[in-house]
Amino acid sequence: MSILSLVKAINRIGGLDLHVSSKTRSYLFVAVLLLPIVFLLIITMQPWVDPKWMFLDTVTAAEYSDDCCHVYYGFVSNLGIFLWVATAAISLFCATVFLQWKNAKAILRFAVTAGLFSAWLAMDDAFLLHEIVFPKIGVPQFLVLAIYVLLALSYIISSWRVVLSSEYWILGLGVGGVAISLGVDQIYHSLDPMIVIIEDSAKFFGLFCWFAYHVVTLIVAFQTNMANQKPLQ
């Protein structure tokens, strides 16, 4: 069985029409891989500043740099937060529309859980909740991360039909990128430039895929359901 046939077979398990055509899927595959990789290569290879300070979050870069501060500190990290926020905003806005549609409970749950989860992770990323804030008030970092894993599983369980019916491979790439980033952080926990670039490149790639997956899925949901839905009076 080819990879494309496997993707289609899993789509049928979900039972919802939320996947794209084979041609569009090919374009998506190229875009999802190419756009973040090209961006990260540009940041890494540009000759003007040490890319390490662009990858680290702004607070950490300002704390450990001998030349504080510059506007490019935390550039990639801040763009990652923008992706969290954009995913949350788009998902929750779509949820307000799906709320008025009949027979849209599955996609409504998907939009709400994705939006709330993304919003919370944006807060965590922006204010270093799991790295600094929670440990300072006595909550171990590993416990916070474990709770986040449980929340992610809850998101998947509540929306499994939508996930399996859609371009779930993009979500898989995103989860893989974030998992690699967390693994590198937990194992090395280093400010070595190469470690920082690997860790935060994986994280940015994961966040880009997370954003792309939800945008694509919600767009397809609108296209496939708009003609059949009537707002409640």
- pLDDT at residue number 227: 62
Structure tokens at 222: 């609108």
User: Taking the domains of the chain in order of start, what are their residue ranges?
Assistant: 15-228
Each residue's pLDDT tens digit, 11-56: 888 888 888 888 898 999 999 999 999 999 999 999 999 999 999 9
Q: Cβ distance 84 to 121 under 8 Å?
A: yes
- pLDDT at residue number 89: 98
pLDDT at 3 over 50: yes
Distances (CA, A) of 132 to 60, 126, 193, 205, 222: 11, 11, 21, 24, 40
How far apart (Å, rounded) are the C-alpha atoms in residues 109 and 155? 9
- pLDDT at residue number 68: 80
pLDDT at 231 over 60: no
Specify burial of residue 226 (Cβ count, 10 A radius: 0-12, 13-18, 19+).
exposed
pLDDT at 186 over 90: no
Mean pLDDT, residues 86-90 taken together: 98
Tracing tokens 């898989």 back to the chain, one arrives at: 172
Each residue's pLDDT tens digit, 69-78: 899 999 999 9
Helix, coil or strand: residue 72: coil
Q: Which residue has the higher pLDDT, 197 or 104?
A: 197
DSSP 12: H
Q: DSSP characters for 15-27? A: -S--PPPHHHHHH
- pLDDT at residue number 233: 43
**Mean pLDDT of the chain, nearest integer:** 91
